[in-house]
């Protein structure tokens, strides 16, 4: 019989530098009101020059381990979801593994853009269900500030840096993960992408900056979020009314508003912190989960719906019984 798993620890890390919309007014043709009304974002965090994706991931991971009372040497796997690693190789997860002192753990990165944490959590759960591992650290960590063209108003206002982590441990009894849905439409990859070093010609012209067709991505996000959520809830043999809290990818408050309306779920059941951090990509859901727990928004037995969407174009949703 497949093993179950539960989340026993969690942690987050946000850089100390806060950049408000008013600060962006000094360098961009924009205003605080324009940004807030279109995105819900008021400020975001930016990593310091000495900080990296793996150093932030290590901070969040250390908190998760401490909250669970687990020693790093007991970890079987370190899995980092990121699309902004500081190295092409080694994996950021390997750097985190070493920094933590998790000497016997395997380590690898997973890149599904902003859907990455949902993909990573589902992947980690499969290792436990199969009986291969018992203790897995799942981290989402991103430094988007280093892949943004800060002269581009359409993208630079949206993103921020941060990291979030959870510890999964094998357990007997009811499974924590009730269902998951993962998907991708590579035919629309050009709507949201960052060129890499193997695309030297393109990078030479435009730099290694994020490119996004915002209006098209917005429409995709609302549709994908609603479809994946319905499928995941149905696969869990639940109804949308059974979901106590939705923890969506924090990309744009208007996306959450549209999804809540379409799904018929009260907006107050959608957790949101996008106003403080902007879009932190694969880090946004674990950061939001940590804050929901800190605020007492999650109770034992609650059904959580986590749903992400992003480059790929990718999407993922899962239902977790806490």
pLDDT in tens, 135-151: 999 999 999 999 999 99
Confidence check: pLDDT of 175 > 90: no
- Per-residue confidence at 128, pLDDT binned at 50, 70, 90? very high
Q: For domain 4-171, is the CATH number 3.10.450.240?
A: no
pLDDT in tens, 295-305: 999 999 999 99
pLDDT for the residue 278? 97
Mean pLDDT rounded to a whole number for the chain: 94
Confidence check: pLDDT of 201 > 90: no
pLDDT in tens, 250-288: 999 999 999 999 999 999 999 999 999 999 999 999 999
Give me the active site residues, please.
114, 249, 279
pLDDT for the residue 202? 56
Are 46 and 161 in contact, with CB atoms under 8 Å apart?
yes
pLDDT for the residue 255? 95
The yes-or-no answer to whether 4-171 and 177-321 have a common fold is yes
Residues 6+ apart with CB under 8 A from 163: 12, 13, 53, 56, 57, 59, 60, 139, 140, 141, 142, 283, 286, 287
Confidence check: pLDDT of 206 > 80: no
Mean predicted confidence (pLDDT) in 175-200: 89
CATH superfamily of domain region 177-321: Thiolase/Chalcone synthase (3.40.47.10)
The CB-side HSE value for 187 (13 A sphere, CA atoms) comes to: 1
pLDDT in tens, 53-84: 999 999 999 999 999 999 999 999 999 999 99
Mean predicted confidence (pLDDT) in 99-126: 98
pLDDT for the residue 20? 97
| Predicted model pTM | 0.95
Domain positions in the chain are: 4-171, 177-321
pLDDT for the residue 139? 98
Q: Is 57 exposed, middle or buried (0-12, 13-18, 19+ CB in 10 A)?
A: buried
For the beta carbon of residue 275, count every other beta carbon within 10 angstroms.
Answer: 15
């Amino acid at each position: 019989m497949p093993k179950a798993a539960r989340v026993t620890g969690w942690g987050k890390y946000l850089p100390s530098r806060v950049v408000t919309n008013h600060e962006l007014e000094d360098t961009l043709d924009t205003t605080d009101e324009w940004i807030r009304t279109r995105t819900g974002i008021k400020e975001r965090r930016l990593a310091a020059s000495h900080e990296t994706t793996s150093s932030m991931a290590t901070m969040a991971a250390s908190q998760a381990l401490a909250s669970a009372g687990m020693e790093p040497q007991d970890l079987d796997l370190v899995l980092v979801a990121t699309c902004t690693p500081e190295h092409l190789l080694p994996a950021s997860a390997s750097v985190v593994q070493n920094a933590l002192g998790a000497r016997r753990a395997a380590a690898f990165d997973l890149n599904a853009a902003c859907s990455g944490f949902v993909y990573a959590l589902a992947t980690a759960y499969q290792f436990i269900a199969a009986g291969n591992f018992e203790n897995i650290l799942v981290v989402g960590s991103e430094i988007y500030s280093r892949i943004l063209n800060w002269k581009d108003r359409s993208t630079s206002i949206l993103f921020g840096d941060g990291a979030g982590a959870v510890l999964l441990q094998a357990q007997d009894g009811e499974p924590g993960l009730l269902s998951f849905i993962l998907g991708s439409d590579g035919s629309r990859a050009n709507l949201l992408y960052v060129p890499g070093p193997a695309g030297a010609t393109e990078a030479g012209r435009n730099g290694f900056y994020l490119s996004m067709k915002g209006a098209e991505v917005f429409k995709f996000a609302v549709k994908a979020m609603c479809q994946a959520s319905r499928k995941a809830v149905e696969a869990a043999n639940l109804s949308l009314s059974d979901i106590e809290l939705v923890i969506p990818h924090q990309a744009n408050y208007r996306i959450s508003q549209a999804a809540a309306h379409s799904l018929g779920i009260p907006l107050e059941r959608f957790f949101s912190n996008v106003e403080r951090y902007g879009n932190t990509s694969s880090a946004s859901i674990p950061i939001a989960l940590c804050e929901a727990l800190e605020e007492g928004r999650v109770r034992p037995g609650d059904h959580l719906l986590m749903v992400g969407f992003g480059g790929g174009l990718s999407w993922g949703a899962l239902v977790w019984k806490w």
